[in-house]
């Protein structure tokens, strides 16, 4: 049993299998041809030869195209879905006079060609040429080849599964890279189209007892709403069963929903989330929730969808459902955090006797400045939390100090300064506030290095803290306190300019001044 060669390429699984089959059947060479469904032609997927026999050249392997008709033995085998044993090429021409493309009789003395049974009919041909012992192939060899073809059918299905897995991985990576639901819908639609090679894909989710089209390859239907129970989509959502309609008329025959106005073959699959975790046992979660459906129609090759397509799409829909729910959960959690933080901030503010509107203005001004200097969404989110919570440490400071009308004594000022570290202490247990806590720690640092608690200088101070310091100081200046009236906007602006490079980041001050001007209501502007 000699080693087989494969034109110098690293062998893949199919080549390995073909090399083994070649030995089993004792042939000199073997070829696996696959159908290119778009072109309706067979091409050489892989070819192996025993040492000493001439392998097919790279050019032949890459350029051979065989039509699915009765002009060549391979085309004929797929067309008739029958194996073919050729021991006399000239004789074969007498049986099939239509044959025009036949192998060189001098080189190919005996050949076996077997259709490979793939899940949706024969789409491949396995062929062996020339017995190593120079004898003709026998009926026994032919039966063995038929058995081997079954193995190749399974291998091809596995290969498709592999491709499916790789596509899934790519989609999952794309989906995981964003928390933007609209981007996720777009990825689902475009990946779905590629996966089963069709023109129309749409995603519908349940909202207020309706199925809403969240995204679609047909832009005109985005946002449309379907009543539950109406049409195929509603039926699939209600039953949780996937639906494959191969011919339009089947939809009326097999199911109880009304005709759909969709042309030809289509697929609708539920997007379901199963809770299989044992941790869900004592929790009142539905064991299976269908959050929406995916619709597919118009195969690129105009043919009906197949059971294999349905299989691929069903798995895909469930993965997509999990991804969507994950992001929704993330967004809801974030909203819940924000309202908790807002409630906490309001409580501190009440103690400090400054107003909650002051805090809201600091948030708004900080975020506007952050936007102007190009901070990322994540940085802005951290700054939002920090702006709300920057004085959380004041909760532990005596009200007599917080609301003291006159100047603080050195001792009182030292106590007051402690609110920063005490705030950090309070926030340190919330992991989602890690970056915000750093901003809170440094919101009293000064650009010159004269601030507290760490005396950081210039760009050592986190950008969020430099922004917050500016917004907070400005708004504190213009806000009325029990013990003093607020400054006018103009004098507050002068103060900011005077302190640029000392207390404040000089590159931020001019941008902030423009924001202040844009925020002054028209009636106030006329007074200035």
Q: Which residues bind Fe ion (CB under 5 A)?
A: 391
Rounded Cα distance, 287 and 387, in Å: 41
| β strands within 50-120, DSSP E | 65-67, 84-86, 111-118
Pairing label, strands 210-216, 225-227: antiparallel
β-partners of residue 226 are 211
Q: How far is the CB of 391 from Fe ion (least distance, A)?
A: 4
Q: How far is the CB of 440 from Fe ion (least distance, A)?
A: 8
Residue 502 CB neighbours (<10 A)? 12
- Of 215, 178, 193, nearest in space to 331 by CA: 178
Of the two residues 215 and 475, which places its CB atom closer to Fe ion in the complex?
475
Q: How far is the CB of 426 from Fe ion (least distance, A)?
A: 13
| C-beta nearest to Fe ion: residue | 391
Of the two residues 391 and 445, which places its CB atom closer to Fe ion in the complex?
391
Structure tokens at 153: 């059918």
Q: How far is the CB of 434 from Fe ion (least distance, A)?
A: 19
In our burial notation (b when 16+ CB lie closer than 10 A, e otherwise), range 365-395 reads bbbbbbeebebeeebebbbbbbbbbbbbbbb
Is residue 90 within a helix (H) or strand (E), and if so which, with residue range? helix 89-95
Rounded Cα distance, 107 and 105, in Å: 5
Q: How far is the CB of 172 from Fe ion (least distance, A)?
A: 43
Of the two residues 391 and 505, which places its CB atom closer to Fe ion in the complex?
391
Give just the sign of the alpha carbon dihedral 464, 466, 471, 475. positive
Give just the sign of the alpha carbon dihedral 216, 222, 226, 231. negative
Of the two residues 381 and 391, which places its CB atom closer to Fe ion in the complex?
391
Of the two residues 117 and 391, which places its CB atom closer to Fe ion in the complex?
391
Q: How far is the CB of 218 from Fe ion (least distance, A)?
A: 54
Of the two residues 189 and 365, which places its CB atom closer to Fe ion in the complex?
365
Of the two residues 232 and 365, which places its CB atom closer to Fe ion in the complex?
365
Q: How far is the CB of 476 from Fe ion (least distance, A)?
A: 9
Q: How far is the CB of 423 from Fe ion (least distance, A)?
A: 8
Q: How far is the CB of 515 from Fe ion (least distance, A)?
A: 21
Rounded Cα distance, 90 and 405, in Å: 114
Q: How far is the CB of 444 from Fe ion (least distance, A)?
A: 6
Q: Rounded to whole angstroms, what are the CA distances from 120 to 37, 123, 124, 154?
A: 12, 8, 11, 12
In our burial notation (b when 16+ CB lie closer than 10 A, e otherwise), range 504-514 reads bbeebbeebbe
How many helices (H) and strands (E) the chain has is answered by: 19, 12
Contact 183, 177 (CB under 8 A): no
Cα–Cα–Cα angle for 209, 214, 216, rounded to 5 degrees: 130
Contact 369, 470 (CB under 8 A): yes
Of the two residues 226 and 361, which places its CB atom closer to Fe ion in the complex?
361
Of the two residues 92 and 420, which places its CB atom closer to Fe ion in the complex?
420
Of the two residues 382 and 391, which places its CB atom closer to Fe ion in the complex?
391
């Amino acid at each position: 049993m000699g080693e087989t060669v494969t034109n110098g390429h690293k062998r893949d699984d199919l080549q390995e299998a073909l090399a083994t089959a070649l030995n089993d059947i004792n042939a000199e060479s073997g070829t696996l041809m696959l159908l290119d469904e778009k072109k309706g032609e067979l091409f050489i997927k892989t070819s192996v030869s025993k040492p000493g026999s001439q392998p097919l050249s790279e050019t032949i392997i890459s350029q051979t195209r065989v039509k699915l008709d009765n002009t060549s033995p391979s085309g004929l085998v797929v067309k008739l879905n029958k194996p073919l044993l050729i021991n006399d090429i000239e004789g074969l021409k007498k049986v099939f006079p239509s044959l025009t493309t036949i192998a060189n009789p001098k080189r190919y003395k005996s050949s076996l060609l077997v259709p490979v049974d793939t899940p949706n009919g024969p789409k491949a041909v396995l062929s062996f040429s020339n017995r190593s012992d120079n004898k003709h192939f026998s009926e026994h060899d032919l039966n063995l080849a038929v058995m081997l073809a079954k193995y190749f059918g399974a291998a091809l299905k596995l290969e498709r599964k592999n491709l499916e897995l790789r596509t899934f991985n790519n989609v999952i990576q794309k989906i995981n890279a964003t928390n933007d639901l609209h981007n996720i819908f777009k990825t689902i639609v475009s990946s779905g189209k590629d996966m089963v090679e069709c023109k129309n894909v749409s995603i519908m989710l349940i909202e207020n007892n309706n199925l809403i089209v969240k995204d679609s390859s047909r832009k005109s239907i985005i946002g449309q709403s379907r009543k539950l129970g109406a049409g195929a989509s509603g039926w699939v959502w209600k039953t949780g069963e996937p639906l494959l309609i191969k011919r339009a008329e089947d939809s009326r025959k097999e199911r109880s929903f009304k005709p759909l106005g969709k042309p030809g073959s289509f697929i609708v699959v539920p997007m379901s989330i199963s809770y299989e975790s044992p941790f869900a046992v004592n929790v009142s979660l539905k064991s299976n929730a269908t959050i929406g459906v995916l619709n597919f129609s118009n195969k690129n090759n105009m043919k009906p969808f197949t059971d294999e397509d349905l299989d691929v799409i069903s798995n895909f829909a469930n993965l997509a459902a999990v991804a969507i729910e994950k992001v929704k959960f993330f967004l809801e959690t974030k909203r819940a955090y924000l309202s908790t933080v807002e409630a906490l901030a309001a409580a501190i503010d009440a103690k400090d006797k400054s107003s909650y509107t002051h805090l809201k203005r600091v948030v708004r001004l900080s975020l506007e400045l952050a936007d102007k200097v190009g901070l990322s969404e994540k940085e802005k989110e951290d700054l939002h939390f920090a702006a709300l919570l920057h004085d959380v440490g004041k909760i532990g400071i005596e009200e007599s100090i917080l609301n003291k009308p006159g100047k603080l004594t050195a001792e009182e000022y030292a106590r007051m300064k402690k609110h920063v570290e005490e705030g950090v202490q309070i926030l340190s247990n919330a992991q989602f506030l890690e970056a915000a806590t750093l901003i809170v720690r440094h919101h009293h640092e000064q650009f010159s290095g004269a601030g507290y608690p760490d005396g950081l200088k210039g760009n050592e101070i986190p950008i969020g803290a430099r922004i917050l310091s500016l917004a907070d100081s400005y708004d504190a200046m213009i806000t009325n306190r029990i013990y003093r009236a607020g400054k006018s906007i103009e004098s507050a602006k002068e103060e900011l300019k005077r302190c640029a490079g000392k207390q404040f980041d000089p590159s931020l001050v001019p941008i902030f001044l423009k924001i202040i001007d844009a925020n002054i209501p028209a009636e106030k502007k006329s007074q200035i």
